[in-house]
Amino acid sequence: MTQALRRMQSLASSWQEELADAFQSLDQLFEYLELDSRSVPSGHSRRNPFPFKVTRSFAAKIEKGNIDDPLLKQILPTTAEFENPAGFVDNPVGDLEAIATPGLLHKYRGRVLLVTTGACAVNCRYCFRRNYPYSGNQLGSSGRGAALRYIERRPEIREVILSGGDPLVLSNSSLEELIRTISAIDHVARLRIHTRIPSVLPSRIDRELIRILKKSRLKTVVVTHINHPREIDDHLKSAVSLLLRAQIRVLNQCVLLRGVNDSPQILSELLERAFDSGIHPYYLHMLDRAAGTAHFEVAEDYSRYLEETLRNRLPGYLLPRFVREIAGEPYKVPI
């Protein structure tokens, strides 16, 4: 075995081992963060079907001893998730109505989305698909053929979006086969990958993954999901640098979250640091009103104030589009 091959296998196993070693016990995370488990009412119980999970890479960015850390708030189950005010539902953006074949959502003209997996490296508590019925509604081996035939029969489809879950928790071999079959459809020109991985498991962006993305004829765009400037560290920058050197465009979308990033100062710093790392702004999403997430919602009037303040502080090329996804609408709706 060559040295290069041994290194490649080592890199592949390292991210998979880290993923397997993620915190799935709040007690273990609190011990690591030097926190008293009695300091917050826990929503991690049998009553809560949405599991807790966070990688050690992401946990390392959380300030120890600080129960109010904005990164911790993104992944910490609390009893607020049991509140269910009107308007917060299991299917907030009309995903179920958009299912064309198992694992394929067709909402917008010219593009389709593949729900490649229900797994993520980190379970974000504000997730709009936290109640999505992945069983039977994700792209398994049995559903892949039907999804590809659907795309083949519709020449107006120019872009395929890989989502989930997080598509980058799939193995390199699975991704390579999926991308190869998409590339074989002549009228598809672009591949878009939505992922939280650079922030929560940067070791996953390995050279084998870059090779797979680089060799495809498709124009590839990676949309990262970074909500707070402290998520941007040297590990994330290194992962993004690999993508950029392969001429893969990197964009960022984030979610406006109460108590996490709902201030002009935090958002300005996030946008500046992301751009300095080679990541261009894309969307700033209003919270999708999934059941169990109401405690994260920011009032729309205040979000308009934030947008206006950022316009006064930053050049136009640093401004994301402030949008809300509304079920049945043909595009993301500007606020």
DSSP 262-296: -SHHHHHHHHHHHHHTT-EEEEEEPPP-BTT-GGG
Give 236 or 5, the one with higher predicted confidence. Answer: 236
User: Which is it for strands 321-324 and 280-285: parallel, antiparallel or unpaired?
Assistant: parallel
The pLDDT confidence band at residue 8, using thresholds 50, 70 and 90, is very low
177: in domain: yes
Domain co-membership, 325 together with 243:
yes
Domain co-membership, 26 together with 148:
no
314: in domain: yes
Domain co-membership, 44 together with 190:
no
Residue 228's Cβ-count burial label (10 Å; 0-12, 13-18, 19+) is buried
- Overall domain count for the chain: 2
For the stretch 124-169, pLDDT in tens is: 999 999 999 999 899 987 789 999 999 999 999 999 999 999 999 9
Domain co-membership, 173 together with 270:
yes
Residue type, 120: C
Question: For the domain that residue 125 is a member of, what is the CATH number?
Answer: 3.20.20.70
pLDDT at residue number 1: 42
Helices (H) and strands (E) in the chain, counts: 11, 10
Distance CA 190, CA 238 (A): 24
315: in domain: yes
Structural domain including 157 reads 96-334
Task: Enumerate residues 6+ apart whose C-beta is below 8 A from 141.
Answer: none
